[in-house]
Copies of this chain bind each other. A is one copy, B any other.
Amino acid sequence: MPIPIGGPLSLPLRAFGITRSKMNPDICTICERSFQYVKKQRHITSGATILFADIRNYTGLSQRVGAAELGRIVSLFQTRAAEAIWANDGIVNKQMGDGLMAIFNFPIIRKDHAAAAIMAACDIQRACAQAFRDIDSAEEIGIGVGIHTGDVQIGEFSSFRSDFTAIGGVVNQAARLESQARPGEILVSLDTALQAPELMGGTEARALSLKGIEQPVEARVLRVG
């Protein structure tokens, strides 16, 4: 049954705390507040694509610019990135300072979740490059993105918060990929690339040694613009 999250029909639901999700305004808060109730279990395993993005050279930036300016740059990034993720059916699951984590294929199911995440990443790079162009202090900065696909554990991993998140080796590797991305780069894991070969034309291969992972990991490097 579709849940009305806008208009007058949504009013009675709002009284019960059911409203637009902050993770994606196209979905309601039922599954983030009542994960266990909806899924009948605390955790599920699900195929998904995980995207991490952050502002590269943020440490230098945070020492160079004033508080108001830093806040403005972070807000711009978080807003533009969220819009790009929502436009491709992903959710902004976590925001932390200058970074964020997005999930594709949960709770909005998309068979082509790998492609959706890559398209969102391209949109993030384009939108941020444009937004930062007008800010003098942001000229040298850029966004780094890491994307990986596979089985993740989704659920509540804290006894006092009811919002769900995703954990596991796949999530971790997406974060590690992002940490190796240079400004403007999107590092796409081989697993993700194989599910969206149509978007990989002209990309460069790069072997990465990632912290905590013994074997070198091969990734495709995507640049926009």
Contacts and interface: CB of A to CB of B under 8 A. Distances in A.
Contacts of A212: 57-60
A101 to B, nearest CB: 7
A62 B167 contact: yes
Contacts of A160: 22, 25, 79, 82
B169 A62 contact: yes
A106 interface: no
B211 A167 contact: no
A157 B62 contact: no
A25 B211 CA distance: 36
Q: Is the interface of A mostly helix, strand, loop or mixed?
A: mixed
A77 to B, nearest CB: 9
Number of copies of this protein chain within its complex: 2
Interface residues of A, number: 50
A59 to B, nearest CB: 3
A17 interface: yes
Interface in A137-154: 151, 153
Interface stretch (A68-76, A123-131, A191-199): A68-76
Given A59-B212, A94-B96, 6 more contacts: A62-B168, A70-B168, A71-B157, A71-B167, A95-B161, A97-B175
10 contacts: A25-B160, A42-B71, A58-B212, A59-B210, A59-B211, A62-B172, A70-B167, A94-B94, A97-B165, A97-B171
